[in-house]
């Protein structure tokens, strides 16, 4: 296992400082830098933070694969300044995090990951961020307006729990298969929206596809 260094930092955002958690793997001796995964958390007004268990599971999964990870708190969450902005300003938060990473870090590829509300923000912001790949978990189709989301032009995965009690699974599935470039879909019959009791499965899934 490559040695990891984790630190919590404060970086400049659109409306104030943003709190981030950066975990870098030691890629010295490798032919190229490690990849970087930036992960967006669930809804701030319902307890969503970068410490959400799905977010931290995604972090650990990618770290085990040799990726560096960057989780962050949206505006108004934790030590991030500002106020909730319905998913609009949060897209600016994600852009600031990605731009900071591009200036400060060396990485070979960029993966954007998002869970629930964070999936909506990731999908909305992705056209301008030029990631190499997307990991979308429980996209909140039907809770937000997905009609204006641009087509994804890079490889992407969508993970859905078929016992989701927050988002209608059929709406997520119908939306995903209607995309011009369809994602690779992974469905778990036993999983709820928050993957209670299924986090080990999620970790194994990520480890098997990246």
Of residues 179 and 2, which shows the higher confidence score? 179
Over 80: is that where the pLDDT of 142 sits? yes
DSSP H helices, 65-168, are 89-104, 117-129
Has residue 65 been placed in a domain?
A: yes
Has residue 180 been placed in a domain?
A: yes
Query: What's the pLDDT score for residue 2?
Result: 67
CATH code of the domain in which 10 resides: 3.40.50.1820
Q: Which helix (H) or strand (E) holds 110?
A: strand 110-115
Has residue 90 been placed in a domain?
A: yes
Percent of the chain residues topping a pLDDT of 90: 93
CA distance 18 to 96: 9
Q: Coil, helix or strand for 185? A: strand
User: What's the whole-number mean pLDDT along residues 138-161?
Assistant: 96
Cα separation of the two ends of the chain: 16
Has residue 33 been placed in a domain?
A: no
pTM of the predicted model, to two decimals? 0.96
Over 80: is that where the pLDDT of 189 sits? yes
Has residue 141 been placed in a domain?
A: yes
Task: Tell me the pLDDT of the chain averaged across its residues.
Answer: 96
Nearest to 101 by CA among 208, 20, 203: 20
Has residue 38 been placed in a domain?
A: no
18, 75 contact by CB (below 8 A):
yes
Query: What's the pLDDT score for residue 3?
Result: 66
Has residue 188 been placed in a domain?
A: yes
pLDDT digits (tens, 9 = 90+) for 8-53: 999 999 999 999 999 998 877 777 889 999 999 999 999 999 999 9
pLDDT digits (tens, 9 = 90+) for 88-111: 999 999 999 999 999 999 999 999
Number of domains in the chain: 1
Has residue 35 been placed in a domain?
A: no
H helix count then E strand count, the chain: 5, 8
For residue 145, give its domain range: 4-27+43-209
Contacts (Cβ under 8 Å, ≥6 apart) of 76: 44, 82, 83, 84
pLDDT digits (tens, 9 = 90+) for 157-167: 999 999 999 99
């Amino acid at each position: 296992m490559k040695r990891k260094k984790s630190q919590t930092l404060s970086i400049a955002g659109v409306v104030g400082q943003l709190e981030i958690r950066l975990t870098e793997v030691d890629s010295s001796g490798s032919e190229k830098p490690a990849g970087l995964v930036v992960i967006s958390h669930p809804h701030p007004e319902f307890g969503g933070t970068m410490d959400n268990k799905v977010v931290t599971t995604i972090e650990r999964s990618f770290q085990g694969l040799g990726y560096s990870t960057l989780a962050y708190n949206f505006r108004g969450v934790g030590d991030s300044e500002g106020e909730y902005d319905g998913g609009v300003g949060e897209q600016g938060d994600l852009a600031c995090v990605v731009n900071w990473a591009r200036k400060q870090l060396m990485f070979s590829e960029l993966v954007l990951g998002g869970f629930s509300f964070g999936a909506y923000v990731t999908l909305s912001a992705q056209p301008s961020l030029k990631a190499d790949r997307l990991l979308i978990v429980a996209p909140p189709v039907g809770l937000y307006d997905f009609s204006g989301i641009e087509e994804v032009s890079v490889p992407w995965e969508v993970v859905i729990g078929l016992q989701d009690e927050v988002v209608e699974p059929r709406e997520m599935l119908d939306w995903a298969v209607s995309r011009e470039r369809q994602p690779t879909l992974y469905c778990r019959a036993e999983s709820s929206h928050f993957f209670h009791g299924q986090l080990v499965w999620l970790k194994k899934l990520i480890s098997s596809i990246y």
